[in-house]
Chains A and B, each alone.
Chain A
Amino acid sequence: MQLVLEKRAERSNTIALVSPLIAIGLTIVTMTILFAILGKNPLLALHAYFIAPLTDGYSLQEIAVKATPLVMIAIGLSLCYLANAWNIGAEGQFLIGAVAGSWIAVKTQGTDAGAWVLPAMLLVAAAAGAVYALIPAICKVKFGASEILTSLMLVYVADLLLDYLVRGPWRDPNGFNFPTTAEFDPVATVPLLIEGGRLHLGSIIALLVVAAAAILLGRTIKGFEIRVVGAAPRAARFGGFNANQLVILTFAVSGALAGLAGIIEVAGPVGHLQPGISPGYGFTAIIVAFLGRLNPLGILIAGLFLALTFIGGEQAQIAMKIPLDVTKVFQGILLFYVLACDSLILYRFKLVFPNRQVARGAG
């Protein structure tokens, strides 16, 4: 008797709905065993991870703050991926957006610049992110260069540019040589939504982006074009859709969104430009995009869920003295199960009974 994976005749919509639940169930079982081995009460630990952060306003805010850049970047990436364009360099576009927007903040520092500063920063950041993303897109369309490699390599270029600027020309003159700009002026800061909290305007922008993407993909010809080019390139060619144009377009949009996320992070929660403004948002967003099945609403949920595991992980470290490594194992196991269960959408398990006579002959 043998257990094999067999391709389904068509994708199972039931499994598509319940597979995340199965994955979470399996994660909980695995983690319960792991917590028990570590000598921690599994119920309390799971409570700290999943329930506690959802029960007070502060943690909910923090989840939203953490999810904001992830969701914004992932929405842009999902457009690329749907159109079969592989932008892996959102991290670089995020950094370039942060740098370009900060340029205005740094140059207007201490002057009586008006309320135009923040909107200008957001626009410049989005434009810079788009232009930066166009480099790999144009290289792909014109020269056939792999956009996966070029977009990824440009991440390091952006990282080093930021590093150079905060150590050199933009360094805070009163900062004892530490690599950071001075704190941005209030007009160059993303406004908070709740007094004394950390929730900021960026979260609203992220929600608008989700809504816009949902409309684009669900209600417009352009959205239809993106999906057709990705799913059936030949059919798209017959339909007169230009795949190259779409590569350019989706890269530009995703670069703009990553750049916007970058400046919102810098002018929001951080408050100044410094190295290490991104703990890998651009890469984590790739996971968010796929966890959310490249669907705007799915991405919103996936982003919030991933943020929950970060916040919950911290609270578990504090409340249960569970080491950070266990949190990482926890996130890894969760992603593993989600992807593993997703394969059941297209495949199913089947028991195969080998021919008895052959079995006897072999034995």
Chain B
Amino acid sequence: MRKSLLALAAGILLAGSVSAASAADKLKVGFIYLGPIGDLGWTYQHELARQALVKEFGDKIETTYLENVPEGPDAERAIEQLVRAGNKLIFTTSFGYMDPTLKVAKKYPNVHFEHATGYKRDKNMSTYSSKWYQGRYIQGLIAAKMSKSGVLGYIGSFPIPEVVSGINATMIAAQSINPNIKVKIIWANTWFDPGKEADAAKALIDQGADVIMQHTDSPAAMQIASERGKLAFGQDSEMIKFGPKTQLTSILDTWAPYYIARVKAELDGTWKSEDTWGGLDSHMFAMAPYTNMPDDVKKIAEDAQAAITAGKLHPFKCPVIGQDGKEIECKGGANLADGQILGMNFYVKGIDDKLPGK
């Protein structure tokens, strides 16, 4: 008995030291995920990018993730656990991790942090996000063309600038096709809750919407639209298998190029704190194939995508008219300034909804 216990202890010690030795020369990269890796939306796309990192760098890196980390008191501990496990580059992949990431970053100046979609930075803490409003603009064009009732249904998550700018870009594009288009908005107050998202989709369809758009992460709305014979856009990931006859396109979060670039910089010793806000031109996101639409609509979408990628078309080209009919001050020359879009806190003309909390 005693012998087996000794062997057991030795086994634990040996196994521990072996893994420590082989890990010493590898760069450890950590990830904090908001949802489960199988959410088929936001977290899933980050997980795909992590897998792409493993494929790209192989033995040079070791990756670790913590999934389902709530944006509350546990987040700081989860991030610090990754630091203490030797991770030198840590991606925290949701807005709510901003303050916890900053706290841990201040405590460990030699570890580099990458925070998705936030606005606080530090010497060792970068932020990265995408110009999703560009994709929303394309969706607005398609939606206005495809809607027979002239009513679009929009499931919002939280009334934060990223979501508000998406709604506005959709509306501006849709109005360019059909000046009388209506957008009905339901705030789900969640990023991921298939039950609530499905209820929102049903309510929107009952109110006459025949094209459903969403800023929440699950395929629930797509499934409802599919059941009711309506059309819908996916979100974050390819959702065509939930609505083969329903999905028009989807904004795909393609984080892999950015993650690969940042890990490469870390390996080369050239990592710097940056604020990255990439669009279609820098492949921070992509559009899923344009499906379930006639060729002329597809052409409109493809032309718009090409024009935005080439920098010839800007969704927030001035003049932008606010909800009250007054022109929004144009701080970026020909277009709204990036800061105005990043902090967008107003609706454009024609949106029949009150911004929550305003």
Residues of A near any B CB (own CB < 8 A): 41, 43-44, 47, 58, 62, 65-66, 163, 167-168, 171, 176-179, 183, 196, 198, 265, 269-272, 274, 276-279, 311, 314-315, 317-319, 321, 323-324
Contacts and interface: CB of A to CB of B under 8 A. Distances in A.
A318 B343 contact: no
B125 to A, nearest CB: 16
Contacts of A196: 107
Contact of B161 (A58, A167, A176): A176
B71 A276 contact: yes
A168 B158 contact: no
A62 B80 CA distance: 10
B310 interface: no
Interface string B3-39: 0000010011001100000000000001000001000
A171 B159 CA distance: 12
Interface string B59-87: 00000111110111110111011101100
A277 B343 contact: no
Contact of A277 (B67, B72, B78, B107): B72
A183 B99 contact: yes
B103 to A, nearest CB: 8
B81 A270 contact: no
Contacts of A66: 74, 77
B164 A270 contact: no
Given A66-B77, A279-B70, 15 more contacts: A43-B12, A58-B84, A167-B159, A176-B119, A176-B345, A177-B158, A271-B99, A276-B70, A277-B72, A279-B72, A317-B65, A318-B30, A318-B82, A321-B64, A324-B36
B72 A276 contact: yes
Looking at B73, B85, B158, which has the most chain A CB atoms within 10 Å of its CB? B73
B269 interface: no
Given A176-B160, A196-B107, A265 B73 contact: yes
Contact of B77 (A47, A198, A272, A319): A198
Contacts of A177: 158-161, 164, 345, 357
B325 interface: no
Given A177-B357, A318-B85, A270 B72 contact: yes
A318 B29 CA distance: 11
Given A43-B8, A318-B81, A277 B73 contact: yes
B356 interface: yes
B57 interface: no
A182 to B, nearest CB: 11
A343 B118 CA distance: 51
A44 B73 contact: no
Contact of B78 (A179, A265, A314): A314
B62 to A, nearest CB: 10
A44 B12 contact: yes
A287 to B, nearest CB: 17
Interface residues of B, number: 41
Contacts of A171: 357
Contacts of A315: 81, 85
15 contacts: A58-B80, A163-B189, A168-B357, A176-B161, A177-B158, A177-B161, A177-B357, A274-B71, A276-B71, A279-B72, A279-B73, A311-B77, A315-B85, A324-B66, A324-B68
A278 B72 contact: yes
Interface string B161-179: 1001000000000000000
B127 to A, nearest CB: 12
Interface of B: 8, 11-12, 15-16, 30, 36, 64-68, 70-74, 76-78, 80-82, 84-85, 95-96, 99, 107, 119, 158-161, 164, 189, 342-343, 345, 356-357
A62 B161 CA distance: 34
Nearest to A168: B357
B76 A269 contact: yes
In the complex, the 10 A-B pairs of residues with the closest C-beta atoms, listed nearest first: A269-B73, A276-B72, A318-B85, A177-B160, A270-B73, A168-B357, A167-B357, A279-B70, A314-B81, A324-B67
Contacts of B85: 315, 318-319
A179 B158 contact: yes
A164 to B, nearest CB: 9
A323 B65 CA distance: 9
A70 to B, nearest CB: 12
Contacts of B81: 314-315, 318
Q: Which of A47, A265, A276 has the most CB of B within 10 A?
A: A276
Contact of B74 (A163, A178, A279, A318): A279
B343 A43 contact: no
Contacts of A276: 70-72, 96
A318 B66 contact: yes
Contacts of B164: 177
A183 B100 CA distance: 12
A207 B169 CA distance: 55
Nearest to B30: A318
A165 to B, nearest CB: 11
Nearest to B33: A324
A162 to B, nearest CB: 12
Contacts of A62: 77
A198 B100 CA distance: 12
Contact of B64 (A176, A277, A318): A318
A265 B8 CA distance: 40
A240 B85 CA distance: 60
Contact of A43 (B11, B76, B96): B11
